[in-house]
Amino acid sequence: MTQPVLDPCRCPLCGMPNACAMACGDQVATGPCWCTRVQFSADLLAQVPEAARNRSCICQRCATPEPALKD
């Protein structure tokens, strides 16, 4: 059985583009990527498949917790 090809420009959780300037070779970026300025929770990082750990960034949508709904 072959492993799926890992795309470092896609979020390993949802498959959408992760906008990581470092992984995707963004030559236009003027500073560090957004992903270097946030902290990812241990729970979120544990959801990343083993093959993608330290190889593909989580996207901003998956990294940002949704606000709790008020009753």
Q: pTM to 2 decimals?
A: 0.73
What are the start-end ranges of the H helices in the chain? 42-46, 60-63
Tens of each residue's pLDDT in the chain, 71 residues = 455 568 888 999 999 998 888 777 665 556 678 888 888 899 999 999 998 998 888 999 999 876 656 66
